[in-house]
Amino acid sequence: MTQITVIGAGPAGVLAALRAADLGAQTTLVTNGAFGGMAANDGPVPVRTLAHVGRLMREARQLGQYGVKVGEPVLDYARLLARVREVVNEVDTHSSLRQQIDALGVIVHEQAGAARFLDPHTVETKGGLRLQADKIIICTGGVNRRLPIGGFELTSTHSDAWRLTSVPPSMLVIGAGATGVQVASIFNAFGSRVQLFEAGPRILATEDESVSAAAAVAFRESGMMVRENFGTIESFEKTATGVRMNFSKDGQRFSAEAALAVVAIGWMADTTGLNLAAAGVELNERKFVKVDEYLQTSVPHIFAAGDIIGRMMLVPQAIQGGFVAATNAVQGRKLPLLLEEEVTPMGSFTEPEYAQVGLTEAKARKTNDIVTAILNFGSTPRTIIDGRKFGFCKLIVDRKTAKILGCHVIGERAVDIVEVAAIAVAAGMRVDELARIPLSYPTYAGILVRAAVKAARELGLQVGWQSHQAA
Ligand SMILES: Cc1cc2nc3c(=O)[nH]c(=O)nc-3n(C[C@H](O)[C@H](O)[C@H](O)COP(=O)(O)OP(=O)(O)OC[C@H]3O[C@@H](n4cnc5c(N)ncnc54)[C@H](O)[C@@H]3O)c2cc1C
């Protein structure tokens, strides 16, 4: 029987262990943290819980508009953290993955200390556990990028939110990608004075330009200071009340101070401590573990999956990767990893939410003759009912084939709206086909059909009774 050791129990590692055991391998899963990895304990689940509280506070403030009298909401941060722990535990308790892993007889070593390679077939944990296997699957995820500059140790990451005892009165957030904007948005909602710094010309650089611009407007309107093109960080230093960031731009020096500085300037492979050299596993030019399409590393019996390989670093893709790596580790190179970027919805639970699937307008224009249709949230019944009128839904459609190439949404429930669009894109739907679907009324996803009607009209396509929908 093939012996498999999986290192790291995040979504990639758990799926890899599950699949390997399901295929009959004698499987051991070893992790330095808790079962579920960053996804369950430090990433999406707890961060989404914080974002939910931001939403609750916002909705509480809306009550007066609907005739319900209550006072100004006051956040008890300690109680909130206790609730986050409850949520994490409840999600863990309901994870069917843990039950399946146990039922299949996978040996799980949690909190075992960091594992490192002793040789190509042996890993040893800090706690002294030594494991030998025919095949090894590395699923150790990622870590925040650090800068080799003075005072960097004074900065924090999103993980430090769990160690705070109260909401900091002020916060610098450096890096306006998905993690940075979520931290900034959440703590802004909690009452911190947040300054968001972005080195590039726009926040959310991988989103459609219209979404980046709208997010910047919304963040500014909510009181956040947003500074694009801010320059280059030179150092951090301690102040009496927190931390100061020194930075320069065009030969001039500047500084900004706050109680806390959170740095979110990139996500890197967590390879430190793995001693990959002892196994001969190579990294690629981006310093992620180098794998081929079968997720095989430069060492034939060692595979890797999840954030550690640096491709589309999201939970569903980590799960898919774990499945593929384990399949190939047990059965030989059989199953390639096909990450279909064009049908992968992505978004963040900021205030307002934003999300996308498929091509941005700029990318689509390079390859296709396109039509775009934009529907403003303020013109749809459900957003008016809920008093959530900020935002829009933008559809990008190929003029020749009428197929949907991309969908970009900012505003309430953007992530859910884009899920529906992703299904349409994956199904290869024409925009007039989408326009004919009688989605429920009045819903947030309904905006998608109205945008589709608008695009179909622009293309001169018939959409039947739906054409009378105001678009
Ligand atoms: C703030 C934040 C919010 C996010 N929100 C979302 C979201 O909403 N939706 C989404 O899809 N994705 C989200 N992500 C991304 C998502 O969390 C990751 O893509 C996913 O967790 C990757 O899974 P993984 O199994 O590769 O690694 P991880 O979940 O990071 O798990 C890796 C595990 O390996 C362990 N490990 C590391 N080194 C060793 C070692 N040497 N020995 C033993 N064990 C080791 C770690 O402790 C960890 O438990 C978010 C990420 C962050 C940072």
Taking only the tens place, the pLDDT of each residue in 434-471 is 999 999 999 999 999 999 999 999 999 988 776 666 44
Which pLDDT score is estimated for 37?
A: 81
How much distance in Å is there from the Cα of 351 to the middle of ligand 1? 23
Query: Which pLDDT band holds residue 36 (cuts at 50, 70, 90)?
Result: confident
- Mean residue pLDDT across the chain: 95
% pLDDT > 90, the chain: 90
Reported confidence tier of residue 39, pLDDT bands at 50, 70, 90: confident
For the chain, the maximum distance between any two Cα atoms, rounded to a whole number of angstroms, is 70
How wide is the angle at C-alpha 326 spanned by C-alphas 320 and 332, nearest 5°?
120
In this structure, the chain runs to a length of 471
Across the range 230-242, mean pLDDT stands at 97
Average pLDDT for 154-178:
94
Q: How far is CA 137 from the centre of its chain?
A: 23
User: What's the whole-number mean pLDDT along residues 212-225?
Assistant: 98
In the structure, what pLDDT confidence band is assigned to residue 372 with cuts at 50, 70 and 90? Answer: very high
Type of residue at 93: T
Cα–ligand 1 centroid distance for 39 (angstroms)? 5
Segment among 89-98, 234-243, 267-276 with least mean pLDDT: 89-98
Instruction: Write out pLDDT tens, residues 327-371.
Output: 999 999 999 998 777 889 999 999 999 999 999 999 999 999 999
DSSP character at residue 283: B
Q: Which two tokens stand for residue 134?
A: 């025919």
The rounded percent of the chain whose pLDDT value lies above 70 is: 99
Provide the 10 A C-beta neighbour count for residue 226.
22
What residues does ligand 1 touch, defined as CB less than 6 Å away? 7-13, 30-33, 37-39, 43-44, 47, 114-115, 139-142, 158, 179, 270, 273-274, 306-308, 313-315, 318
